[in-house]
Structure 1
Amino acid sequence: MRSLSAGQIILLVVLGSVLILTGVWGISVWSASSGVEMGKHGWIALGLGTFFSLLIGCGLMALMFFSSRSGHDDVADPFRQRERRDR
């Protein structure tokens, strides 16, 4: 196992601190809004937003997968062109 460089350690510390600060902020916001009720329209908006976000995300991932499998991306990748010529 290779050792981590100083830059990698600094990056890990910064990313870890961002993760911890985000968690602390999320918990504080969650507990600060504990007495607020969300109405029927809010729940409908939350459900529709979640559904359409998942639908768009899954659709884009499927398009990326099928585009990669069908060969449409080969023209845009010069490294694959070079590998095919070498064979």
Structure 2
Amino acid sequence: MSLRLIFWIAAAFVALGALLWGLAIFWQGMGIGISGHGWFAFILGGVFTLALSMGLFLLTFHSARHGHDDIDGPST
């Protein structure tokens, strides 16, 4: 894994943390509370969403780099 890839993964999780922090401030300002189970589900959903999207993007780039998406000839 390259250093650049690790940087982008870390940046995505920092952005997720900033989003969660901003939503917490927003919800507190509106007087809406969320339980510990709600926070757990919210954070887990964000982490799994990031992991799934990163995995799918990595598979797409891997496939394109290794020629799996090349067209060998016209399909008949």
Same fold by TM-score greater than 0.5 = yes
- Number of residue pairs aligned between Structure 1 and Structure 2: 48
In the alignment, residue 55 of structure 2 is paired with which amino acid? G
- Structure 1 residues not aligned, in runs of 5+: 1-29, 79-87
The question of 1:49 aligning with 2:45 is answered: yes
Mapped partners of 1:60, 1:67: distance in 2:
10
- Structure 2 residues not aligned, in runs of 5+: 1-25
The sequence identity of aligned pairs, in percent, is 42
Mapped partners of 2:35, 2:73: distance in 1:
50
User: 1:25-36 to 2 correspondence within 5 Å?
Assistant: 34-36=30-32
**What is the alpha-carbon root mean square deviation over aligned residues?**
2.5
TM-score w.r.t. structure 2 length?
A: 0.55
TM-score w.r.t. structure 1 length?
A: 0.49
User: 1:5-44 to 2 correspondence within 5 Å?
Assistant: 34-44=30-40
Mapped partners of 1:77, 1:35: distance in 2:
62
| Bigger-Rg structure (1/2) | 1
